[in-house]
Amino acid sequence: MPGLDRREVETSFDQFVAARYAALLRSATLLCGDHHDAEDLVQGALVKAVGVWQRIGDDPEPYVRRIMVNDNISRWRRHKGRVVVREDVPDRAADGPDSDTRLDLEAALAGLAPRQRTVVVLRYFEDLTERQTADLMGTSVGTVKSQAREALTRLRTLVPGLTVDEGVPARVAR
Amino acid sequence: MSTDLRERLADIADRSGGAPPPPDLWQRGVHRRRRTRVVQALAAAVVVGVVALVLPPPATTPDRPAPVDSRPRGPAIPDRLVTPPTRLDGTGGDPFGPLAVVAGAGRASGFLGTDTSNGWVGVSAATGEYRFLDLPSRVDPGAEVPFLHDEVVLSPDGRSVAYWLDHPDDPGRVGGWAAYDSVTGDAVEHRVRSDLGLAPGLLTWSKDDELVVGYGVVTERGGSGWSSTSAPLTIWDVTSPDDPRELPRSFIDASWIVPTRAGFAGFVDGDVVRWSRGRTQPDYQRPVTGQGDNASEGTISPAGDRLVMVEQLGTGMAERLLVGEIGPAGTTLEPLPLDVEVFDVVGWADDEHVVVRGVLGGSAAILSVDVRTGEHRLLVREERENWVGRPQYATDLWSQPTVSRPEPEAPPPWWLYGAGAAVLGLGVLGARRWRRAGA
């Protein structure tokens, strides 16, 4: 947004926040699994984006989302020594989609590695393509494919009856 | 409640509520930018000072002898796999011997090593040491190449690592395949001439120095994809790399292929097909029943007389093992009583024990399963995060017990040494100025 004065840049930022805050918060809730962490994540990303708004203001959302993705993974790494992820997820769920003991998808998502969880959110909630997901995460399409495959395998294990409107790539035995 | 993943995710996202954004985000951003500039300047000074204090002297003799490592030194698979540090050493021109495991893992990249790219880490069979494999001319891991199967595979004896080569005109396209020798550090290449590159398919070892390779030749590339012609499956002997041979056409539609002692076998359109080396035709092609509609992958015992398949119990459900003897009339698969979930077949420990990847205690694990009784035994705990390619094991080593190995440790980043040198230089400069001022 070259040529704009400070007031105009700030107005552009405010307009973006007003229009996209709720959508960003929905994504962040899925990425974090916690509403308060999600608010922190979105606000942190927006605050960071201010410093480069002059440069990204024409299309700021990919940049903001990328900060969210990276910050969320960093946050998870900082806390992983204190937060037990796997042990609170039962090994095996009971039969039937409506069983009381069935694992909730939220608990199953909490059992995923952060990159796997991010891939699931971007691919199956945001409906991004594998290429778009890879670009946003700063990784390769191959990584996205493998992370999605492992994540779906684990989700299907933990949430019986879960369906995904997409086939899992064929695998080859060793 | 819907069982569709997309709808369930949307349900969770809806719980985010409608909290309005705080009104001071812009101001907080402005303050943060100012703070960042100040902190960056201070941090640079502090880092330099701290480094000067913590850098160890360049002693070459340790104060005390290193503790004796009593762990087994023979070739073995470690009983635990962990996420490797991104700054592990690479093999470079210094190979470190036969490998027990290779697996995709994030590798530090960029000037400061703060970025991460897709690397492949090898674990020494002799010591358990982890190092990133520097595979010569490997296709650019960030390229838009669809790998439908494992893109890097370890030979049964752990000595060779097969991978896809880059294209001479574009490092993001596939131009052939190669086998890296983990003992000599050399790579034997086989390039296939093509204008637009290859579409990589199957890449699997049929014995220690023989690969089965499937690929297509890309004929057209566009914004939304590509089209390719498929070539017959190729047998490629590392010891005679210029003489690839076509696999019997019975295998061309194989959904998976595994080595056996005599040759290899595969699963083709509902039949099991076995082939012995040196023959022009398969030994047999026999029907398989009892696998249902969801048996995705499988394996055949080294003797070639027993079939094991992984069956998915309906859409999105868990998976189980089916086992059947391969007789003259074919194979009838029966479910194996097993109280753990499995989702991959990995190899065989012997003709009665199949090695699988499953879930144990909430995390991935490699298990040995007796195909006669369903009894299982833990072999490896895969305590891993952010792996970008599933671990591959030197399957010959499944016949031996797994052993405890040390965890990998990464060296400090190079810039820490650089900062230390800078501190030293500044210190010398300061001392000279002080002496001059005193003089």
The ipTM (two decimal places) reads 0.80
B389: phi then psi, degrees, rounded to nearest 5: -160, 135
Residues in chain A closer than 8 A to B318 (CB atoms): 92, 156-157, 160
Residues in chain A closer than 8 A to B257 (CB atoms): 172
Q: Where does B80-411 sit in CATH, by number?
A: 2.120.10.30
Secondary structure of chain B as H, E, C letters: CCCEHHHHHHHHHHCCCCCCCCCCHHHHHHHHHHHHHHHHHHHHHHHHHHHHHHCCCCCCCCCCCCCCCCCCCCCCCECEEECCCCCCCECCCCCCCCEEEEEEEEEEECCCCCEEEEEEEEEECCCCCEEECCCCCECCCCCCCCCCCCCEEECCCCCEEEEEEEECCEEEEEEEEEEEECCCCCEEEEECCCCCCEEEEEEEEEECCEEEEEEEEEEEEECCEEEEEECCCEEEECCCCCCCEECCHHHCCCCEEEECCCEEEEEECCEEEEEECCCCCCCEEEEEECCCCCEEEEEECCCCCEEEEEEECCCCCCEEEEEEECECCEEECEECCCCCEEEEEEEEEECCEEEEEEEECCEEEEEEEECCCCCEEEEEEEECCCCCEEEEECHHHHHCCCECCCCCCCCCCHHHHHHHHHHHHHHHHHHHHHHHHHC
Cα–Cα distance between B245 and B263 in angstroms, integer?
A: 14
Residues in chain A closer than 8 A to B28 (CB atoms): 43, 47, 50
Q: Are residues A36 and A111 in the same domain?
A: no
β-pair type (B271-276, B187-191): unpaired
Tens-level pLDDT at each residue, chain B (439 residues): 567 888 888 888 887 777 788 988 998 988 888 887 776 656 555 655 555 555 554 433 334 444 444 455 579 999 999 988 888 889 987 888 999 999 988 888 776 666 777 889 999 999 999 999 999 999 876 555 666 677 899 999 999 999 999 988 888 889 999 999 999 999 999 999 988 888 888 898 988 899 999 888 888 776 556 677 777 788 999 998 988 888 877 777 777 888 888 888 888 888 888 888 878 788 888 888 887 666 667 899 988 889 999 887 655 455 788 999 998 888 999 999 888 888 788 999 999 999 998 888 777 899 999 999 999 999 999 887 655 678 899 999 998 999 999 888 876 666 666 677 777 788 888 777 776 665 4
Query: Are B148 and A170 an interchain contact pair (Cβ–Cβ within 8 Å)?
Result: yes
Q: Report if residue A173 sits inside a domain.
A: no
Please check the confidence at residue A3 and state whether its pLDDT lies above 90. no
**Of the candidates A83, A103, A131, which is a domain's last residue?**
A83
Q: Report if residue A122 sits inside a domain.
A: yes
Measure B48 CA to nearest chain A CA, in Å. Answer: 24
- Picking from B384, B389, B297, the residue whose alpha carbon sits closest to that of residue B343 is B297
Crossing angle of helices A35-50 and A61-79, in 10° steps, is: 130
Measure B296 CA to nearest chain A CA, in Å. Answer: 8
Q: Are residues A104 and A54 in the same domain?
A: no
Does B361 lie at the interface with A, CB-CB under 8 angstroms? yes
pLDDT in tens, A101-152: 334 788 888 888 888 899 999 999 988 888 888 888 877 777 788 888 888 8
Does A135 lie at the interface with B, CB-CB under 8 angstroms? no
Asked if B228 and B204 touch (Cβ cutoff 8 Å), the reply is: no
Q: Are residues A120 and A48 in the same domain?
A: no
Cα–Cα distance between B394 and B408 in angstroms, integer?
A: 19
The token duo for A109 is 């998502």
User: What is the extent of the structural domain holding A65?
Assistant: 1-83
**Of the candidates A83, A105, A135, which is a domain's last residue?**
A83
B180: phi then psi, degrees, rounded to nearest 5: -90, 130
Q: Report if residue A123 sits inside a domain.
A: yes
Query: Are A173 and B29 an interchain contact pair (Cβ–Cβ within 8 Å)?
Result: no
Does A146 lie at the interface with B, CB-CB under 8 angstroms? yes
Query: Are A147 and B344 an interchain contact pair (Cβ–Cβ within 8 Å)?
Result: no
Q: Are residues A79 and A121 in the same domain?
A: no
B344: phi then psi, degrees, rounded to nearest 5: -150, 145
Which residue in B3, B25, B145 is closest to A142 by CB distance?
B145
**Of the candidates A52, A83, A114, which is a domain's last residue?**
A83
Q: Are residues A53 and A97 in the same domain?
A: no
Residues in chain B closer than 8 A to A74 (CB atoms): none
Cα–Cα distance between B227 and B218 in angstroms, integer?
A: 6
β-pair type (B334-335, B363-370): unpaired
Q: Are residues A69 and A103 in the same domain?
A: no
Instruction: Specify the pTM.
Output: 0.58
If contacts are CB pairs under 8 Å, which of residues 147-166 in chain B contact chain A? 147-151, 153
Domain ranges of chain B: 80-411
If contacts are CB pairs under 8 Å, which of residues 321-360 in chain B contact chain A? 341, 343-347, 359-360
Query: Are B16 and A38 an interchain contact pair (Cβ–Cβ within 8 Å)?
Result: yes
If contacts are CB pairs under 8 Å, which of residues 18-57 in chain A contact chain B? 18, 21-22, 25-30, 35, 38-39, 43, 46-51, 53
Output DSSP code: residue A160: T
Q: Are residues A128 and A153 in the same domain?
A: yes
